[in-house]
Structure 1
C-alpha cells in the first residue's frame, strides 16, 4: 500500500472512530472499567475514611504499589496517590480490562461488519480465551513497565540536577512508549477475532505492525494525546501541590481517568477497523 493510501486510510479510520462515539452500546466495556478505575481512585484519594481505610492505607504504604510510609499522612498521600493508582490500575488492567478489551474488539468488529453484537455475547466469547488475554496483558504490561523502569536508570546521571532536561526526557519517554506499545497492540484482536493462542497472536501482531507501521503508531499517538497533558501533570504532583493545592492532584487524576476512557475507545475503534480491513 502506497504512503498516500495509508494516510487516506488513517484519516478515514480516525473519522469513523469519531463517528462511532455516538453509538452508546459501543461504550459499555470502556465505561465499566472507567467506573472501576474511578472507584479505586476515590478510595486511594480518601484513605482515612470508609470501610476501605485499612486496605487502602496498606496498599498506599507498600512500595510494591508505588507508595511509601508518607501515604499515611496528609497531604503527602495526595502526592503519592497517582503512583499508587497507576500501579493498582496495572493489576486491574491485567485481570479485568484484558477481558473487557477483548469484548470491545469483538463489539467493534461486529460494528464495522454492520453486525450488532451484544455486550453479554462479546464477554462470553472473550471469556473463552480469558487465559490467553490475561497472559497477553501481563506480557505486554511487563514489557512496557520494564522499559519505563530501565531507561530512566540508564540516563539518570545526565538528568540529575537539570529540571529542564528531566522534563524533556519524561516527554520523550512517554512518546517512546507509544512506539514500544505499537507492535503489541494487535495481540488481543488476534486472540479474540482469530481464535489464536497468545504465542501466535503475539508474533502475528508484530508482523501486522511491520506492514502497518504508520497507521498503527499514529493511531496510538493521536489518541494518547488526549491523556498526555494530564499524565505529564501528575508526574509533577509536588509542583502542582505547591503551585495550586494538594487537592488539585485529585482533580487531575479524575480527569486523566476520564481522558483515558476516551483515548481507549478511539484507539480500539481505529485498531479494530485496521484489523478488519487488512484481514478480510
Structure 2
C-alpha cells in the first residue's frame, strides 16, 4: 500500500494536476459562457450538453494522458528496468496498473460528478441559468421528471433521486475510463510505442462509432454506451454490450502482458 501511495504522489505532478482541473471545470465553464446559444428545459439538458461534447469525442485520449505520459517517461528513462534490483518487474507493473486505475477513476468521476452537483444543487441557489421547459411542452414538475426519466440511458434512475442518477452515472463513466486507459497502457507496453498505444484505441473508438451509426445500431457504439446523450432512450442493457466487449479486450491484453512481460522490448 505504501508503494502505491508513493507512486501516486510521484505521478501527480503539476502538469497532471492542472490537466485534471481543466478536464473537470473547463467543459462546465464553456457551457456557462454559451448559455444564450441554447434553450435548456432543465438541469439534465445543460448537464448532457456539458459532458456529452468534446469530452465524449476525445474520451480515450483524455484518459490516456492522465497517467500514461508519466509511465512512458519512466520507461524512456529506463527507471522500471533499474527497479529490478529491488523488486520483480511484475510487481512494478502491477503497482503502475493500480495507480493508473486510481488516478483515472477519480479524475473521470469528478469530471462527471462536479458538473452534476453544480447544476442540480448549486446553480439553483444563484439562478444563473434561465430554464424554459415550456419550449419543450413541459409545464409542470411532473412533466419535467417524466421527460428526464424517458430521455437517455440511465436517466430512469432519476426516479429514485437525481443524486442517485448522478452518482451511478459518474461511476459508470469512470469505470469505462479506466478500461480505455488500460487498453492504452497495455498497448504501449506491448508495442513499445506511446504514439501507437494512444492512437490505436482512439481510432478504434471513432471507427466503432462510425460503423455502428452506418449500420443503424448507434446504441452499440463505444461513445453512446458511455455518453448516451445523442440518442433517445435506450434499453437499460444496451450500454453493457460494448462494455462487455471492452472488458474482454482489456482482460485479453492484460493476460498477454502478464505471460510475456519478461520478453517485452519496452522493459528490457
TM-score normalised by structure 2 residue count: 0.33
More helix by share: 1
Structure of higher CA gyration radius: 2
